[in-house]
Amino acid sequence: MSTPVKTYTLTGLQTALENFISENFSSKRFWITAEVRKSNEKGGHRYYELSDSKDGKETARASANLWYSTFEELKTRIPELEKILSEGNKVLIQVRIDYHKLFGLKLCVLDLNPAYTFGDIELRKQQTILRLKQEGIFDNQKKVSLGRINKRIGLVGSPNTSGYRDFVNEMTTNNIFTKFRFKEIHTSVQGDKAKAEMISALKEIDRYNVDVVVIIRGGGNKMDLDIFNDYDLCKTICLMKHPVITGIGHETDEVIADLVSKKRCITPSAAAKSLYNEVGIFRAELTTALDSVIKRTQQLLSGRKDEFQHVSKYLVLHTKTILFDNQKTLDNALYLVKTGFEKTLREEHFQLDKVLIDLKNSSIKYIKSSLLPELEAQLQRADFSCKNSIQASKLELNHLFEQRLPLLMRNAIEVNRIELHHLNDKLEFVNPIKLLDVGYTISSVEGVDLNQHDDNMIGKEMTTLSNKRIIKSTIKSIKNQTT
Amino acid sequence: MSEISKLNYDEALQKLKSIVDVLEKKQVKVDDLPTYVKQAKELVDHCTKKLSSTEEEISKIISTN
């Protein structure tokens, strides 16, 4: 017969465990090292997943929480607390072991030692440097040529930061050189997305035609700047074909991005100054070189001046002699040409006169013999023709003057006479005196014809004119006459 | 010498036309009628005389040639 097995409920078991851990561990504190695998925030409380590993293999895992009140208290002492407790960092934390029958084993974070994490950052930094060197790309940027004049600037950074604004302000308002052209790619410089955005921005800007790429980041604490120790970011810088200048604001620790870049500046403003100062220095060097060239040229010219003057004098003298000799030869030749020409001219003139006399005689003879009779006949014909024309014109004129002109004149006078008669007839017709003679009368009021009056004329004096009398009467009534 | 006798033919004719026009439109006061009629008669005579003298003069010029 078997003995009955003792059984427990889960609650009983969990309660027993809870009580055991509470009795044995609740008053104890432990400093442990672990890597933060995951972190979450809810209602101000932080929840973490911690892990430990050896030789790349995970050896332990536990959940932990950091209550809101403890977080706020620690933050006043450790400003970088949130950064330190971000994923991937190794941390040294003080914990208390809690066990709850519903939620299981939990570590409650009570304190944190930042120096451990910083040491870890340094360790990772050294590992990254070693890795880049082993890959043979650590000094790549040192081999890239950085020109003296860099006007096309590829700018990577966050435009909302004061460091970015300082850089742009310095570049555009300084007294030395401001004609820079910018190709800006804006990225975050902190936070979860910063690393990926910066790598993408650097790769993109490396494809543009720029002289130099400048990475800008304002000041920040050790944790803030840890992104610039990232292996992938630093590798991207190493592999860029354009020279990279870093303007990352920090006072003490260098970041790996500074080490692998072509040039590092301690602030964004310093990066700007180095760019425009180089232009200024180059310009000054050019001015000095130009001055030297001018000075040396003046010296050479001065040295050659005497020699030139001597040669010049000799040249003038020699030229004058040659010119004098040639002039003399030319004068002789000219004299010969002149005398020869005059002689030839005289001879030709004589011959010409002779030919002219012969021609004259021949012409006269020819005219006399052949042309003269014809000319006389033509003259006679012309004279006859002229006389005829004159006679015809005279006849026409006579006809015009004696017959047509009187006719035209009479017509003109007759027209005027008819017009005058017509006017006279008209005058007879409108002549009022004639009308009076045949018995009509003319009546007027105030010297104006009755028909010209529009006003009421009753009571006014009317003057009636007949051929022999002037009758004055007073108007008593007016009656309109219908026709 | 009256004013009318100094006028040339065209001027006299123009003046005559304007008197006829005034009489036609009855724009003259009754008291002024005799003056207008007298002036018109003088103008007609002057123009007739001018025409006759011009005709004579032309005939004389043509016949002498």
| pTM for the model | 0.45
Show residues of chain A in contact with B31, CB under 8 Å: 447
Using the predicted structure, report yes or no on whether residue B15 has a pLDDT greater than 70.
Answer: yes
Distance from CA of A358 to the nearest CA of B (A): 60
pLDDT band per the 50, 70, 90 thresholds, residue A444: confident
Q: Which helix (H) or strand (E) holds A481?
A: none
Mean pLDDT of chain A: 86
CA-to-CA dists, residue A351 to A157, A341, A364, B57, angstroms: 109, 15, 20, 76
CA A436/CA A257 separation, integer angstroms: 137
Residue A359, pLDDT > 90, answer: no
Q: Which of A67-81, A169-183, A317-331 has the lowest mean pLDDT?
A: A317-331
Burial class (CB in 10 A: 0-12, 13-18, 19+), A213: buried
Residue-wise pLDDT tens digits, A77-135: 888 888 888 888 889 999 999 999 888 899 999 999 888 888 778 888 888 999 999 99
What is the predicted ipTM? 0.72
**CA closest to A448 among chain B residues:** B29
Facing B30 at nearest CB: one of A417, A424, A447: A447
> Nearest C-alpha of chain A: how many angstroms from B26?
8
* Residues from chain B contacting residue A406 (CB–CB below 8 Å): 58-59, 62
Angstrom distance (rounded) from CA A73 to CA A37: 23
Return d(Cα A457, Cα A451) in angstroms, integer: 11
Chain A nearest CA to B39, separation (Å): 11
pLDDT at A212: 96
Tell me how far CA of residue A346 lies from CA of A313, A333, A350, in angstroms.
49, 20, 6
pLDDT digits (tens, 9 = 90+) for A311-356: 777 778 887 888 888 888 788 888 887 777 778 778 878 877 887 8
Q: What token pair was written down for A98?
A: 């809690």
- Tokens 């009656």 correspond to A479
Greater pLDDT, A258 or B60: A258
* pLDDT greater than 90 at residue A213: yes
Percentage helix, strand, coil for chain A under 3-state DSSP, each rounded to 5:
55, 20, 25
Chain B contact probe: residue of A398, A402, A409 with most B CBs at under 10 A:
A409
- Apex A220 CA angle, A214 and A222, nearest 5: 110
Residue pair A463/A442 in contact (Cβ under 8 Å)? The answer is no
Mean pLDDT for A23-42 is 91
Return the pLDDT at A476: 86
pLDDT tier at A157, thresholds 50, 70, 90? very high
Percent of chain A topping pLDDT 70: 97
In this structure, are residues A44 and A68 in contact, taking their beta carbons and an 8 Å threshold?
yes
Taking the CA of residue A468 and the nearest CA in chain B, the distance in Å comes to 14
Strand order in the sheet with A461-465: A448-449, A442-445, A461-465, A470-474
Q: Which residues lie below 8 Å from residue A193, measured CB to CB, with a gap of 6+?
A: none
pLDDT of residue A367: 65
* B60 reaches A (C-beta below 8 A): no
Position with higher pLDDT, A328 vs A289: A289
Range of weakest confidence among A70-84, A358-372, A398-412 = A358-372
Q: Which residue has the tokens 């604004």?
A: A165
Q: Which two tokens stand for residue A437?
A: 């003679």
Q: How much helix, strand and coil, in percent to the nearest 5, is found in chain B?
A: 85, 0, 15
Highest mean pLDDT among A167-181, A467-481, B41-55: A167-181
Token pair of A156 as six digits:
């990577």
Give the rounded percent of residues in chain B with a pLDDT score beyond 70: 95
- Whether chain A has a CB inside 8 Å of the CB on B31: the answer is yes
Of A401, A417, A444, the CB nearest to B51: A417
pLDDT, mean of residues A146-159: 92
A232 CB-near residues (< 8 Å, 6+ apart): A195, A199
**Higher-confidence position of A429 and A50:** A50
